[in-house]
């Protein structure tokens, strides 16, 4: 993806990364790198998120807000979710990829959606405190962005918890500070706290049938039918919430503005550094596309 931003100086460096009057590296806590990525495989997407985290932890990349898509459609499992929750034959027949996230939660089918990720140092003010403290701050950015689309979004109550009896499908019940519209879950997120950095990413379904995931879960028919009915009443897409189609580009622009306003940050368009590209390629090959990671539970 070209030269590392760290290898460029002066005006050339600024033009490469964005239009800021100040050099983007190093930058103050109020400035964040913005990455607008298109679709990629599940392994590549998870590897890039982790590579950014490594770079942030080492101080060679700033706090980063990233948007991306998925191709082919991909089922992602929570870090500790059983691989047996997904029927491998049915998944393959439907043309869905599979990957295990570095974050918790349950299975998601990534298709017809916009995904965001936020990566910052563990001691960054946005990530200060506990998991729910950061969730709430980032939820304010998500809500502000969605409201720009005409969606009456709000954060779920902080007391909400996904219990041990939760289904294999992530979108059935909103957890604390996930985003809801009239009580129905619109945008789910998950967070990972590692040595030196915090990663949070989440999925905004733009359109389509949210029950498609159920077609490849290992559930008895009666239980699968009940889950389809539950999802219909408890989850919603951006298109249904707004009453009109919402494109990937429109949703991305709105969430960019929402994060910038709610978190009082300046977003500077950028690119992955050469180190991040190298790490992402290694992580995709050796971890996220590797059967040992995917089948770990």
Active site residues per annotation? 170
Q: How far apart are the first and last CA of the chain?
A: 35
DSSP secondary structure letter of residue 249 = H
Residue 108, classified by CB atoms within 10 Å of its CB into exposed (0-12), middle (13-18) or buried (19+), is: buried
Order of strands, sheet of 97-100, starting from the edge strand that comes earlier in the sequence: 97-100, 74-77, 108-110
What lies within 8 Å, CB to CB, of 15 at 6+ separation is none
Contact 185, 204 (CB under 8 A): no
Q: Write out the two tokens for 220.
A: 């008895």
Identify which of 37, 38, 115 has the alpha carbon closest to the alpha carbon of residue 76.
115
Find the helix packing angle between 131-148 and 248-263, rounded to 10°: 130
Contact 275, 39 (CB under 8 A): no
Q: Write out the two tokens for 55.
A: 């770079």
Torsion angle of alpha carbons 290, 292, 295, 297, nearest 10°? Answer: -140
**Radius of gyration of the chain, Cα coordinates, nearest whole angstrom:** 19
Can you say whether residue 123 is alpha, beta or left, with left for phi > 0 and alpha for psi between -120 and 50 degrees? alpha
Q: Whole-angstrom Cα distance, residue 11 to residue 80?
A: 46
Find the helix packing angle between 42-57 and 274-283, rounded to 10°: 130
């Amino acid at each position: 993806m070209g030269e590392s931003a760290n290898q460029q100086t002066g005006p050339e460096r600024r033009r490469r990364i964005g239009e800021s009057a100040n050099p983007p590296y190093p930058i103050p806590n109020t400035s964040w790198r913005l990455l607008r990525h298109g679709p990629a495989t599940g392994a590549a997407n998870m590897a890039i998120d982790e590579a950014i985290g490594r770079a942030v932890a080492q101080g060679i990349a700033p706090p980063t807000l990233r948007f991306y898509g998925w191709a082919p459609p991909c089922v992602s499992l929570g870090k500790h979710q059983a691989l047996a929750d997904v029927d491998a034959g049915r998944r393959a027949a439907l043309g869905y990829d599979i990957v295990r996230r570095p974050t918790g939660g349950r299975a998601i089918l990534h298709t017809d959606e916009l995904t965001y990720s936020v990566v910052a140092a563990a001691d960054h003010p946005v990530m200060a405190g506990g998991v729910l403290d950061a969730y709430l701050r980032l939820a304010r950015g998500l809500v502000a962005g969605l409201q720009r689309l005409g969606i009456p979004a709000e954060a779920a109550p902080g007391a909400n918890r996904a219990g041990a009896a939760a289904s294999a499908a992530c979108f059935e019940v909103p957890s604390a500070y996930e985003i809801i519209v009239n009580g129905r879950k619109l945008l789910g997120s998950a967070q990972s706290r590692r040595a030196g950095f915090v990663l949070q990413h989440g999925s905004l379904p733009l359109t389509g049938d949210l029950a498609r995931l159920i077609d490849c879960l290992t559930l008895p028919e009666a239980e699968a039918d009940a889950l389809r009915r539950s999802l219909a009443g408890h989850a919603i897409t951006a298109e249904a919430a707004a009453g009109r189609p919402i494109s990937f580009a429109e949703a991305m622009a709105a969430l960019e503005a929402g994060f910038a306003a709610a978190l009082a940050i300046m977003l500077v368009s950028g690119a992955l550094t050469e180190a991040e590209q190298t790490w992402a390629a290694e992580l995709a090959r050796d971890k996220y596309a590797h059967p040992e990671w995917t089948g770990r539970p």
